Structure 1
């Protein structure tokens, strides 16, 4: 009995484990608090259920620290039912304020596509609540993706079954990444942080084989036609 108690007491009470998570970057703009509020409200109202309590990194590069303090920004973001997890590459004034508020400052980086990127292949359906990550390369799903499921890849994403969930390609900043769907019904699509909601999609792409790419900071859709 004593040996069991001694073994239990020797177990580490704190462990650090590696894990990968995907966070959306929320780029804010506006010169006044009212403008910021308006921008956030219009953003969240497009899909309130999707954005409710969504964890985000704040990009403050378009804000003026002399007009808006970080505490004001945080209050407004939280009032919009978003959850700020940190600040992306803040300017010196915002960095100092973030340190005072114990808010992490995250250093971003540009992704250079690797010639030796690997491909992750998933043959089973991806169910609601599941997240699949294609690290350092492309992600290929041979089955369907349910609503509420997430696909994340540092490279491109290919889905050969019905795509009803969310897809985040170019997760580390690769703007050359693309999304290929055999049957497009996705709730949300994103490439290198630029996203597109189902409500904004042209109905002609619904349920069709579609390719999505990033051009001039917006997602462009095009139908995939068979070769003749």
Structure 2
């Protein structure tokens, strides 16, 4: 897919492997085309993947016909829209009309934003976010290989895998991920939004790597990094990879 134009939809990978499609431009044709290209490039990752549609980046919610057209187009492109991200009362009404649930994970985030805005009637102040626990908790250590079909999640802490992550396996951490063997599956660090998280591995063959939702699939990664010790980090919105040797 060409990177010479701004994408109509920004796709990020969540901590449970569900993709969140935040709509930047309500161009159904462009959104469907971009999703079809993603599926064609990485069918094992995105084919029939669950996708949450997030209209929070738009100035107003789409009408019902446009939303249905987008959902039908995304299904035709090869993914499965499963919910809407909570946003406004209009989004809540739209979800009821479409017969799709609202994802509770996004509900608190948007309610805090709305509560901070001026309102005609007094409202309770937004709840202060909980401080991150990752720094105060010991990291999770996985001593045995993570095999195909397995998923490992280190909540609010780093994850260290002493052996390998097999093809089709998935390791997820709210902190950084350290893999002392080969990485052949998926590694998602900073899953709760920590942009300072990093991924380190001794032998890089990853199907997908992601930090704070920003991801690259194998086809996006230079061939000269494959099989080598690699570090992955975020520089602004750009996912960076470099050899460690």
Bin for the TM-score computed over the shorter chain: 0.7 to 0.9
| Equivalent runs, 1:89-100 vs 2, <5 Å | 89-100=86-97
Alignment equivalent of 1:102, drawn from 99, 102, 127: 99
Give the match for residue 44 of structure 1: 39
Relative to the length of structure 1, the TM-score reads: 0.81
Greater gyration radius: 1
> Could you tell me whether the CA contact under 8 Å between 2:36 and 2:78 is conserved in 1?
no
Paired with 1:161 and 1:138, the residues of 2 have a C-alpha distance of: 17
In structure 2, do the counterparts of structure 1 residues 212 and 202 end up closer, same or farther at CA, with 3 Å as the change threshold? Answer: same
Relative to the length of structure 2, the TM-score reads: 0.76
In structure 2, do the counterparts of structure 1 residues 111 and 159 end up closer, same or farther at CA, with 3 Å as the change threshold? Answer: farther
How many residue pairs were aligned? 206
Which deviations, in whole Å up to 9, do the C-alpha atoms of 1:168-198 show, x marking residues without a partner? 1111121211111111110001111111001
In structure 2, do the counterparts of structure 1 residues 29 and 46 end up closer, same or farther at CA, with 3 Å as the change threshold? Answer: farther
Give the match for residue 81 of structure 1: 78
Unaligned 5+ segments in structure 1 are 1-19
Paired with 1:217 and 1:111, the residues of 2 have a C-alpha distance of: 24
In structure 2, do the counterparts of structure 1 residues 168 and 48 end up closer, same or farther at CA, with 3 Å as the change threshold? Answer: same
> Could you tell me whether the CA contact under 8 Å between 1:57 and 1:85 is conserved in 2?
yes
SS in 1 for 2:93: helix
Give the match for residue 241 of structure 2: 221
Unaligned 5+ segments in structure 2 are 1-14, 110-128
CA shift, 1:58, in A, is: 1.9
In angstroms, what is the RMSD of aligned CA positions?
2.2
Which deviations, in whole Å up to 9, do the C-alpha atoms of 1:127-165 show, x marking residues without a partner? 111111111111110001110001011111110001000
